Structure 1
Amino acid sequence: MGAPEPGRVGRVGRLLPALAWTALGYNVLVILWGAFVRISGSGAGCGEHWPLCNGVALPVSPTLHTVIEFSHRLTSGLSGIFAIALLSLAFFRSPREHPVRVGALLSLLLIIFEGLVGGVQVLLGLTATSTNPARGFVQGVHLANTFALLGALLLTAVWASGGPRLRMRGQGALGWLAGLGLLLMLLLGMAGAVTALGDLLFTPTGMTPLDTVRQDFSLSASIIQNLRVLHPVLALGVSAYLFWFAGLAGTRQGEGAALKPRRWKTALHAVIALQILAGVLNVLLKAPGWMQMLHLLLACVMWLVTVTLCYAALVARPAPQSLDAGRAVGA
């Protein structure tokens, strides 16, 4: 066998990559279950108690809402166990400078923060039917941290599977454009979280989309209602930017079929189209619970594809006819 390519790191056994990919998939399911807790109005199923449930470790004679909320806490706790196991295995099975250690440590820290944000929501009563404006802010932070967690778990899995080390030096404009794309996705996700909350709290049956817009800008509307219109506007702008960025990043030449930027460019274009369609249907159908969960699932997929495309482009080589090459010739 020849010498390893610069920047490429080796696999660290079979168990660590399997655990990392499993943890990533499991956390997507936990996120969807958390959305179901919100949609079903079960966020106050354990009262304003955290980490206990109604003041006890194990609820006795629980209501349905209590069962739903408590099960979410259990599944979230299992995410923490996954993260601890992932970090332990990463330190035992990888060399000291292996990037998988950084990914696993960051994943654990983000899961801890995820639990703390959830705890703050419960302790401050920002659950169930609460219309406190602070709930919208906390909901947005929660979603941004969730996306960051999924991104960290994804990179951990990629590095555990032998993916190249990510280096930001020397990336030029592409590095800044990729960072901007990820930041915009986070902002879009936060706005979406506030919109989903507004759909849950402020959309009476029988109202048309136009009636909803009028209600959101009435004198009696809360800030959560005022911000609902921001999400569709932001979605169009961010989608346009990511569509353009994907075309640019797709000109890079990746190593291996799994990390070809062109493949992930196509995937991002497809998921953007699906997400826009889902958003339109969500409005037309007046945001039913199942549609909100599908919209969230597509948002998670869109985020993961965006992270993968950025990573694949930044570890790849510029194509001869890429924008970078054109600039070099023009210089």
Structure 2
Amino acid sequence: MNTGRKWFARFAWFALAFNLPVILWGAYVRVSFSGDGCGAHWPFCNGQMLPRQMAAPMAIEFVHRMMTSVDTLIVIALCIWAFRAFPRRHGVRLYATLSLIFLFIEALLGAGLVLFRYVAHDQSAGRAIYLSAHLTNTMLLLGALTVTALLATRNREHASFGSMPGSFAVALAVTVFVSITGAVTALGDTLFPASSIAAGISQDWSSESSMLLRLRVVHPAIAVAGAIYLIFLSWRVLRCTGTEETKAAGRRVFSLTIL
């Protein structure tokens, strides 16, 4: 691998790492009810590029917008660099482009949350749907960035999913679905905090409770079923006659699922 591609691989890992605090801060925006800190304005904050006076909710939301702006510049640079450093039809080009596409979709979904006021204390079904789409796209973004970095690091032209591409796709779908139900459940916990365990159980089974609360009963079962499938898939990978690299990936998936 030449020096330029080595630096690209490092930058790709940096781009992936930078997205993690951006995502975590976005979650903090939600749990702190700061999503409407800039009002129903996007991309500016209350119609201003740089507000002079900011209360805590506005500051929290504004910081998130600044982080996503920097993130956009990083991924644009990653995509341009991929096209300069790698030939046509190379996997790095493909996944760097997908990363940029998913990032733009992420920005549009974030704008929708603000403009449609699916933020702060909003309890509508539309917010749950938007949140699900947002989380799904976030995971696709992280996946595309990860594959970009892996291909560049290992000097491979294309991503290979071994002898079980169908099983891999199902595992990905299961992981996304479990994450979605977990995120919607967490939203319900945030909007409708229970004063005690007994009160929480009562909320779960009450016909008058919000859908966001009733989902708390479903999520654990979905999570257990998903974990069982991932463990089974990891076991199959470890038993197959694949490469040591594939088996190492199976061991990591198994360990992370148990954790």
- Which TM-score band applies after superposition, normalised by the shorter structure? over 0.9
Amino acid in the other structure paired with 1:215: Q
* Per-residue deviation, 1:261: 2.3
Identify the residue that residue 243 of structure 1 maps to in structure 2.
231
Work out whether 1:179 is the aligned partner of 2:169. yes
Work out whether 1:194 is the aligned partner of 2:181. no
RMSD: 1.7
Amino acid in the other structure paired with 2:224: L
Identify the residue that residue 262 of structure 1 maps to in structure 2.
247
Identify the residue that residue 280 of structure 1 maps to in structure 2.
none
Q: 2:77 aligns with which of 64, 82, 85?
A: 85
| Greater percentage in helix | 2
* Per-residue deviation, 1:164: 5.4
Work out whether 1:39 is the aligned partner of 2:24. no
Amino acid in the other structure paired with 1:57: M
List structure 1 runs of 4+ shifted beyond 3 angstroms.
Answer: none
Partners of 1:254 and 1:28 lie apart in 2 by: 30
Amino acid in the other structure paired with 1:14: K
- TM normalised by structure 1 equals 0.74
Q: Where in structure 2 are the equivalents of 1:110-125 lying within 5 Å?
A: 110-125=102-117
Is the CA contact (8 Å cut-off) linking 1:213 and 1:229 kept in structure 2? no
- Higher mean displacement: 223-232 or 121-130: 223-232
Q: 1:203 aligns with which of 185, 193, 197?
A: 193
Amino acid in the other structure paired with 2:202: R
SS of the residue 1:14 aligns to:
helix
* Per-residue deviation, 1:189: 1.1
Identify the residue that residue 253 of structure 1 maps to in structure 2.
242
Identify the residue that residue 17 of structure 1 maps to in structure 2.
9
Identify the residue that residue 256 of structure 2 maps to in structure 1.
271
| 1:233-285 deviation digits (Å, cap 9, x = unpaired) | 11000000000101111234326xxxx122222222222222xxxxxxxxxxx
| 1:109-130 deviation digits (Å, cap 9, x = unpaired) | 0000001101100011111111
Partners of 2:15 and 2:160 lie apart in 1 by: 25
Work out whether 1:224 is the aligned partner of 2:212. yes
SS of the residue 1:61 aligns to:
coil
Q: Percent identity over the alignment? A: 36
Partners of 2:201 and 2:247 lie apart in 1 by: 39
Is the CA contact (8 Å cut-off) linking 2:42 and 2:115 kept in structure 1? yes
* Per-residue deviation, 1:167: 4.9
Partners of 2:243 and 2:34 lie apart in 1 by: 46
Is the CA contact (8 Å cut-off) linking 1:129 and 1:201 kept in structure 2? yes
Distance change >3 Å, CA 23–CA 181, structure 1 → 2: same
Q: Where in structure 2 are the equivalents of 1:285-304 lying within 5 Å?
A: none
Q: 1:94 aligns with which of 86, 102, 106?
A: 86
Amino acid in the other structure paired with 1:69: E
- TM normalised by structure 2 equals 0.93
Is the CA contact (8 Å cut-off) linking 1:250 and 1:264 kept in structure 2? no
Partners of 1:216 and 1:52 lie apart in 2 by: 39
Identify the residue that residue 200 of structure 2 maps to in structure 1.
212
SS of the residue 1:262 aligns to:
helix
Is the CA contact (8 Å cut-off) linking 1:216 and 1:228 kept in structure 2? yes
Is the CA contact (8 Å cut-off) linking 1:133 and 1:222 kept in structure 2? no
Gaps of 5+ in 2: none
Q: 2:159 aligns with which of 154, 166, 176?
A: 166
Is the CA contact (8 Å cut-off) linking 2:147 and 2:159 kept in structure 1? no
Amino acid in the other structure paired with 2:254: H
